[in-house]
Amino acid sequence: MAKPLVAFYWCASCGGCEEAVVDLAEDILKVVDAVDIRLWPVAMDFKRADVEAMEDKSIAVSFINGAVRTEEQEEMVKLLRKKSQLVIPFGACAHLGGIPGLANIANKKEIFETAYKLTRSTQNPKGIYPQTTTDTPYGKLTLPEFFDTVKTLDQTIEVDYYLPGCAPPPELIMQAVTAILEGKLPPKGSVLTVDKALCETCERNKSKPDTLAIKDIKRISHVIADPEKCFLAEGIICLGPATRGGCGERCINANMPCRGCFGPTKEVKDMGAKFLSSLASIIDVDDEKEIEKIAESVIDPIGLFYMYSLPSSILKRKQGV
């Protein structure tokens, strides 16, 4: 019997999700045995023309990591949508916008100015920026358009399921592949893990007092956190209350607070706002000046509360830039 065809593709991402596939270790042999990989630019030499030549819906599933930042990425994910029965955003950047999505606090002009002019290591006295077409003595060179706004995969094409995480843990990847191969998938649109907050499965929850009350916020880099105690109860920001569990508490087990890469649970619309409201409810200070001081002690609120989720938030991007 012919094996199901599978594609892996990457958009605006760091490559960590590609590593996650390799992290399957010997399980990757089971995957390779069960499926026929037809696109995986990081590992195999298939071209866009190979995908274009395939029949529509002939790929059983496309796993796409990374957010959508350029015209080329938009074209490729639209092509993969046409050719695939299932499309699954693979990892936090495709699912929520991820770290590349934090660029939504600026626009293309500001990003180009910083990257190609203002950085100390850049020498660009004529202020030349990348162009979509450039005439050279050897012919016309082209580059894809760089969009103003980073988008999640589901803001660009219809998707079927979500595989969360930065990067998705190997166990979740194997569970998803097995569910697809066995045709045992949950309802369309599901995130392929549990739908409960990380705090519910976190071992440190037991150490939480009945009523949380903090008088200041500490930066994790400035303290040695007690490995037995709940970070939040110690005044260290941990996004566990607003984040979906299922990650295996990888950060918590390494004595680092959660930063929200699994995204929100089903009921939460905007995880940054949800976390802010839980944080506000545990700050046990009445004096306005003191409250301002605590708020100011969070150096980069967007980078902290929306580290992985700015493009998928209600705000989506900084407005008016």
Per rule CB under 6 A, is residue 258 in the interface with ligand SF4?
Answer: yes
Candidates 9, 63, 262, 275; binder of ligand SF4 (CB under 6 A) is 262
Nearer residue to ligand SF4 within complex by CB, 262 or 306: 262
- What does the longest C-alpha to C-alpha distance in the chain come to? 72
Give buried/exposed letters for 7-40 (b at 16+ CB in 10 A, else e): bbbbbbbbebbbebbeebeeeeeebeeebebbbb
For ligand SF4, how many residues bind (rule: CB under 6 A)? 25
What is the closest distance, in whole angstroms, from the C-beta atom of residue 211 to ligand SF4 in the complex?
14
Within 153-182, which residues bind ligand SF4 (CB under 6 A)? 166
Per rule CB under 6 A, is residue 93 in the interface with ligand SF4?
Answer: no
Stretch that binds ligand SF4, among 95-103, 180-188, 256-264, 290-298 (CB under 6 A): 256-264
Candidates 69, 81, 83, 259; binder of ligand SF4 (CB under 6 A) is 259
Give the gyration radius of the chain's Cα atoms. 22
Candidates 68, 199, 242, 283; binder of ligand SF4 (CB under 6 A) is 199
Contact characters 130-149, ligand SF4, x per CB under 6 A? --------------------
CB atoms within 10 A of CB 240: 27
Residue 312 sits at the vertex; the CA angle it makes with 77 and 166, to the nearest 5 degrees, is 75
* CA 151 – CA 31 distance, rounded (Å): 30
Within 213-242, which residues bind ligand SF4 (CB under 6 A)? 230-232, 238, 240-241
Residue showing the smallest CB distance to ligand SF4 in the complex: 240
Per rule CB under 6 A, is residue 91 in the interface with ligand SF4?
Answer: no
Single-letter amino acid, residue 24: L
Per rule CB under 6 A, is residue 250 in the interface with ligand SF4?
Answer: yes
If we measure between CA atoms, which residue out of 257, 271, 222, 263 comes closest to residue 245? Answer: 263
Q: Which helix (H) or strand (E) holds 37?
A: strand 36-39
Peptide bond into 167 cis (omega under 30): yes
Binding site for ligand SF4 (CB under 6 A): 166, 198-199, 202, 204-205, 208, 230-232, 238, 240-241, 243, 247, 249-252, 257-262
